[in-house]
């Protein structure tokens, strides 16, 4: 796939040109932001275009103008991190690159895989830069980078790299909803007003993070497990239709009440991974641990706004210390439910406030033991964008063309196996991906 760059510019908040630019005060990072490693997560959105030449030719202009407008309430997204304390320098803006994909139609790319759908390994070409790489110069790293790729047929792929120090899944969702509303010019209810201060109040930042704590996080992501990641193998993609999802949930429902799609599918994939590992090596059946990203906002007391900016996620863990008994899906889904329930008010109170750093350091030690000690295999299950299909379905004069996105989390490089779930274009369809 040959991608030719047409233009590159930085998009700034539109109010920087007006009299209210003084409202853009430095954005204070919270402790969770400070502890997050310097890494970008990718998202690729595919769109077919209506047969309207004027709309096709104006897509880039509309996206850039609406992005500038969106950056006004979300102005930290336009800035750069300073000393791991604040985001400032909002005039740096969001890098926006326009490209042309030579010799390919959108339909060709979306059907390139033998199972249908895109070849996951090709999608990095549609991103501003390779994701999941350590960003050594934090002060130069944009919170968001955008690449608009236009195909010969007029369809587009919008590639985004989000800096995980600020932009977790909820922050990204709120931002994209607002960008979509600004671009389409209608549905004001889609616009979200971000909460900019609360995260730093609940999780107070430290003037400096001990070197050994920060280096521990970087080592976990980019050294210790990074070496093992080279042996992970190829990417894969599997689609569960509505009937399959219902069957998996029904089976999981024999053990727990009203299992969610995420709980049911996670237990199914976990069981399948254990069977595959046992078939490959009958003598050595290592313990396993499944970790799921959890949005902390609705679990706090009092609740944080679902539009609070920051990396407000934690991890729920379910561990199977003994794999000799061939744990069934029914047993595994109970472990997953128990792990999710453990992320409760008491747990969250323990990692918030002034004692937060001490508690998080202890959590790091536990995670390190899991990753490098007794638990030889780890599966990360991530809810990667439920409902994201319609986020900008009207924003560029076309509609999403499934699969809508490749959306991953920074934890991808922590683990031996990563499983990602997202909804397909069909409302009840679900995809899993193993990057």
Based on the fold, state whether residues 153 and 243 are members of the same structural domain. Answer: no
Model confidence over 132-184: pLDDT tens digits? 777 777 788 999 999 999 998 888 999 999 998 899 989 999 999 999 899 88
User: Is 267 contained in some domain?
Assistant: yes
70 near 159, Cβ under 8 Å? no
Domain finish residue from 139, 164, 196: 196
Model confidence over 260-289: pLDDT tens digits? 888 998 899 888 888 877 777 666 566 778
Residue 401: what pLDDT? 33
Overall number of domains in the chain? 2
Confidence (pTM)? 0.81
Nearest to 311 by CA among 368, 345, 360, 366: 360
Based on the fold, state whether residues 254 and 119 are members of the same structural domain. Answer: no
Residue 167 DSSP symbol: B
Nearest to 190 by CA among 175, 206, 205, 204: 175
161 near 41, Cβ under 8 Å? yes
User: Is 205 contained in some domain?
Assistant: no
Residue 131 DSSP symbol: S
384 near 275, Cβ under 8 Å? no
- Stretches in the chain below the pLDDT threshold 50: 19, 224-233, 376, 382-418, 424-427, 431-435
pLDDT, mean over the chain: 77
Cα separation, 9 vs 64, in Å, equals 10
User: Is 336 contained in some domain?
Assistant: yes
Structural domain boundaries enclosing 255:
211-434
Based on the fold, state whether residues 96 and 139 are members of the same structural domain. Answer: yes
Q: How many Cα atoms are found within 13 Å in the side-chain-facing hemisphere of 53? A: 0
**Which residue carries 């490749």 as its tokens?**
406
Based on the fold, state whether residues 263 and 372 are members of the same structural domain. Answer: yes
Peptide bond into 322 cis (omega under 30): no
Peptide bond into 403 cis (omega under 30): yes
User: Is 127 contained in some domain?
Assistant: yes
Based on the fold, state whether residues 187 and 264 are members of the same structural domain. Answer: no
Residue 385: what pLDDT? 32
287 near 322, Cβ under 8 Å? yes
Based on the fold, state whether residues 290 and 371 are members of the same structural domain. Answer: yes
* Percentages of the chain per state (helix, strand, coil), in multiples of 5: 40, 25, 35
Based on the fold, state whether residues 133 and 257 are members of the same structural domain. Answer: no
Based on the fold, state whether residues 172 and 255 are members of the same structural domain. Answer: no
Based on the fold, state whether residues 250 and 133 are members of the same structural domain. Answer: no
User: Is 188 contained in some domain?
Assistant: yes
The CATH number of the domain holding residue 183 is 3.30.559.10
Which DSSP helix (H) or strand (E) runs through 54? helix 53-70
User: Is 315 contained in some domain?
Assistant: yes
Based on the fold, state whether residues 215 and 296 are members of the same structural domain. Answer: yes
Based on the fold, state whether residues 396 and 362 are members of the same structural domain. Answer: yes
Residue 147: what pLDDT? 97
Domain finish residue from 129, 164, 196: 196
Which whole-number Å values give the CA distances from 293 to 70, 120, 172, 350, 366, in the listed order? 27, 22, 15, 18, 16
User: Is 174 contained in some domain?
Assistant: yes
Residue 393: what pLDDT? 27
């Amino acid at each position: 796939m040959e991608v030719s760059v047409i233009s590159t510019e930085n998009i700034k908040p539109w109010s920087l040109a007006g009299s209210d630019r003084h409202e853009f005060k430095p954005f204070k990072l919270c402790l969770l932001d400070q502890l997050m490693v310097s890494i970008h997560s990718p998202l690729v959105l595919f769109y077919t275009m209506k047969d309207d030449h004027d709309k096709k030719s104006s897509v880039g202009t509309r996206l850039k103008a609406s992005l500038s407008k969106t950056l006004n309430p979300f102005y930290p997204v336009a800035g750069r991190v300073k000393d791991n304390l604040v985001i400032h320098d909002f005039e740096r803006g969001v890098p926006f690159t326009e490209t042309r994909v030579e010799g390919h139609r959108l339909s060709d790319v979306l059907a390139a895989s033998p199972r249908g759908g895109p070849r996951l390994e090709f999608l990095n070409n549609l991103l501003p830069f390779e994701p999941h790489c350590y960003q050594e110069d934090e002060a130069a790293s944009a919170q968001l980078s955008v690449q608009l790729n236009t195909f010969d047929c007029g369809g587009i792929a919008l590639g985004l790299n989000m800096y995980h120090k600020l932009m977790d899944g909820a922050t990204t969702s709120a931002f994209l909803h607002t960008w979509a509303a600004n671009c389409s010019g209608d549905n004001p209810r889609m616009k979200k007003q971000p909460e900019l201060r609360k995260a730093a109040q609940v999780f107070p930042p430290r003037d400096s993070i001990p070197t050994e704590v920060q280096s521990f996080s970087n080592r976990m992501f980019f050294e210790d497990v990074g070496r093992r990641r080279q042996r992970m193998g190829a990417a894969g993609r599997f689609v569960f239709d509505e009937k399959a999802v219902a069957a998996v949930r029904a089976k999981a429902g024999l053990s727990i009440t009203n299992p969610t799609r995420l709980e049911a599918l996670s237990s199914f994939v976990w069981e399948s991974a254990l069977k595959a590992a046992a078939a490959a090596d009958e003598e050595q059946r290592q313990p396993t641990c499944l970790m799921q990203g959890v949005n902390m906002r609705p679990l706090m007391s009092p609740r944080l706004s679902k539009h609070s900016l920051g990396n407000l996620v934690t991890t729920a863990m379910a561990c199977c210390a003994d794999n000799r008994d061939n744990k069934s899906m029914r047993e595994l889904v109970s472990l997953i439910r128990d792990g999710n329930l453990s992320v409760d008010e008491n747990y969250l109170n323990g990692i918030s406030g002034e004692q937060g750093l001490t508690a998080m350091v202890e959590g790091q030690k536990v995670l390190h033991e899991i990753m490098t000690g007794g638990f030889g295999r780890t599966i990360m299950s991530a809810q990667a964008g439920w409902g994201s299909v319609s986020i900008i379905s009207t924003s560029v004069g076309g509609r999403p063309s499934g699969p809508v996105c490749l959306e991953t989390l920074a934890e991808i490089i922590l683990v031996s196996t990563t499983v990602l779930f997202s909804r397909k274009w069909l409302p009840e369809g679900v995809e899993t991906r193993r990057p």
